Amino acid sequence: MSKYDIIVLGSGPGGYVTAIRASQLGFKTAIVEKENLGGVCLNWGCIPTKALLKSAQVFEYLKHAEDYGLKVKDADHDFDAVVNRSRGVADGMSKGVQFLMKKNKIDVINGYGKIKPGKKVDVDGTEYSADNIIIATGARSRELPSLPQDGEKVIGYRQAMTLKKQPKKMIVVGSGAIGVEFAYFYNSMGTDVTIVEYLPGIVPVEDEDVSKQLEKSFKKSGINIMTSAEVTKVDTSGKGVKATVKTKKGEEILEADVILSAVGIKTNIENIGLEDVGIVVDRDKIIVNDFYQTNIPGYYAIGDVTPGQALAHVASAEGILCVEKLAGHHVEAIDYGNIPGCTYCSPEIASVGLTEKQAREKGLDIKVGKFPFSASGKASAGGNKEGFVKVIFDAKYGEWLGCHMIGAGVTDMIAEAVLGRKLETTGHEVLKAIHPHPTMSEAVMEAVAAAYDEVIHL
């Protein structure tokens, strides 16, 4: 039986990062993967979706070339080529992870892994043992009883990335990050898209102003939006699919070629041996302490299978912290109140910290500043005037409580707010930090200035 210091179960952005950091710290490490290295994120999520979205963005530029004084005749797209480019990007990233495994001398064990008592892992009948086992098996598309996925007419995100034929009509159920990203992509490609959202606003976890702006932008680009609406049943017996949608006004039947179910995720915790080992699970999540130790010594869990936010960068951070604690380093527990969230539709969304509503519900005395990109020179020059930056500060102490952005490239800007909040910066310190001109990031400084009644360009 092969013996390791650490075996990691799952090779997504939680698992493979954990394995690399463990190896760097001197642990003899193995990683178990049943499909492709990189997990859902690299192969079916974060990376290939961004490739699709980039193609959509370039196509949008071509269609609006005259806005920039350019002439492009008969701009068109090849749907198969767009999908193939996305798959090529994913394959390249997965090969990159293979290289990193070799570079860091990590043993890759291909197959389906199940944990066993006595700190063992069974991979398709072969047993391996380790002093520490880290579960990083991730999650998959969640299915609703009223919306069973058949992989053809009712699909999840995997099928949405590799459709053989572009649908003429699509219904997207759910308006979280996955739902709105695919809605933008397919709409840009020319598909007639309708979003059905159960809650009163789309991207419901975001600040209400961001939700309203995205709805305005999406409707302007031709996306149909139904909020406070629920798909109660689907009929796939005909050529396409019919969805019965319950709204405040009554029932409505929508017809489409395909329905994309984007109603959240389900953790991959079944049939991996949790019951055999006695690991405690609550509400579909493995219960862990601040350093990702389960209730059974020697067994840890990170990423989507634990109660934190189901985001790639969270899983990576958790894995690194977990193995650094095992190595005896002094580590601080992750602050889950300072995790940035990014959505890569167009306009993009990025946020961290409290929304204005959350801050007011806490009874906090706050200062709120907002700066529209329509007043930004860089945004005007780039033809990207939609959106804004919104900041929220504690009125008494100047603590940066939240930052919410919607606009072009904002997912690359949010780290300023994350770092500022980590360093406990105040509003005045942000205001006096000189931001380069002309840039989109100036809008952060201007939004802070607006909060303190010192805004210059508005």
Q: What is the CATH number of the domain that holds 297?
A: 3.50.50.60
The tally of domains found in the chain comes to: 3
Same-domain pairing of 243 and 255: yes
Are 7 and 128 found together in one domain? yes
255 and 158 assigned to the same domain: yes
- Looking at the structure, tell me whether residues 182 and 244 fall in a common domain: yes
> Is the same domain home to 28 and 100?
yes
Please report the pLDDT score of residue 43 as a whole number.
Answer: 87
Report the pLDDT value the prediction gives residue 416, as an integer from 0 to 100.
Answer: 98
Last residue of a domain, one of 233, 263, 293: 263
Range of the domain at 185: 154-263
Does any domain span residue 399? Answer: yes
Instruction: Examine the fold and report which residue of 336, 356, 378 is the final residue of a domain before the chain moves on.
Output: 336
pLDDT confidence tier of residue 458, bands split at 50, 70 and 90: confident
Q: What percent of the chain has pLDDT over 90?
A: 94
Where a domain ends, among 308, 336, 364? 336
Task: Check whether residue 116 and residue 14 sit in a common domain.
Answer: yes
The reply, when asked if residue 113 is annotated as ligand binding, is yes
Q: What is the CATH number of the domain that holds 399?
A: 3.30.390.30
Q: Of 64, 329, 428, 437, which residue is the catalytic one?
A: 437
Q: DSSP state, 205?
A: T
Is 428 in the active site? no
Q: Same domain, yes or no, for 97 and 183? A: no
User: Is the whole model's pTM more than 0.85, yes or no?
Assistant: yes
Is the domain of 13 the same as that of 83? yes
Model pLDDT for residues 438-451, shown as the tens digit of each residue: 999 999 999 999 99
CA dist., res. 245 & res. 232, Å (int) = 6
Asked if residue 38 is part of any domain, the answer here is yes
Residue 432 lies in a domain: yes
Look at residue 456 and tell me if it is in a domain: no
Looking at residue 375, its pLDDT comes to 96
Could you read off the pLDDT of 271-318 as tens digits, one per residue?
A: 999 999 999 999 999 999 999 999 999 999 999 999 999 999 999 999
Residue 442 falls inside a structural domain: yes
Q: What is the mean pLDDT of residues 386-395?
A: 97
Does the pLDDT value for residue 62 go beyond 70? yes
- Residue pair 260/182 in contact (Cβ under 8 Å)? The answer is yes
pLDDT given for residue 418 in this prediction: 98
Q: Give the DSSP per-residue string, 223-264.
A: -EEE-S-EEEEEE-SSSSEEEEEEETTEEEEEEESEEEE-S-
Token pair 């009554």 is at which residue?
Answer: 250
Whether residues 397 and 440 share a domain: the answer is yes
Which pLDDT tens digit goes with each residue over 72-124?
998 999 999 999 999 999 999 999 999 999 999 999 999 999 999 999 999 99
Q: Check pLDDT > 90 for residue 45.
A: no
Does residue 1 carry a pLDDT above 80? no
Evaluate whether residue 342 is within a structural domain: no
149 part of a folded domain: no
CA–CA dist 251, 267 (Å, integer): 32
Q: Is 175 known to sit in a ligand binding site?
A: yes
Instruction: Tell me the C-alpha distance between 222 and 219, whole Å.
Output: 5
Residue 352 is assigned to a structural domain of this protein: yes
Binding site annotation covers 164?
no
**Residue-averaged pLDDT of the chain:** 95
Q: What is the pLDDT of residues 210-268, one digit of tens each?
A: 999 999 999 999 999 999 999 999 999 989 999 999 999 999 999 999 999 999 899 99
Ligand-binding site membership of 304 (annotated): yes
Residues 274 and 241 in one domain: no
pLDDT of residue 41: 85
The answer to whether residues 91 and 171 belong to one domain is no
Provide the pLDDT for residue 353: 98
Domain match, 354 and 323 both: no
